[in-house]
Amino acid sequence: MWVGNLWGFFAKIVNRLTSDIPTPFALDKDLMRIDDTEVHESVRERTYELYSTYRLFRKWKYSNRKRT
């Protein structure tokens, strides 16, 4: 579902980037399927780091503006 904000954009991008990554069949100790691989986790973490860096940069940019 598209919300129309930056967080929704990154959630959509992560799904698109990880959709083509093959996922081997694996079960954990509770016999539940493990759908995440290290590559899935890395893509998700790096994408969300970009989001947080953008937020920090934007906050810094607007806090350093001259106010008249």
What percent of the chain clears pLDDT 70, i.e. is strictly above it? 85
pLDDT in tens, 23-53: 889 898 999 998 888 999 998 888 888 877 8
Q: Which amino acid is present at 8?
A: G
Give the three-class secondary structure for 33: strand
DSSP state of 30: T
Residue 32's pLDDT is what?
92
Strand partners, 27: 33
Question: What average pLDDT does the structure give for the chain?
Answer: 81
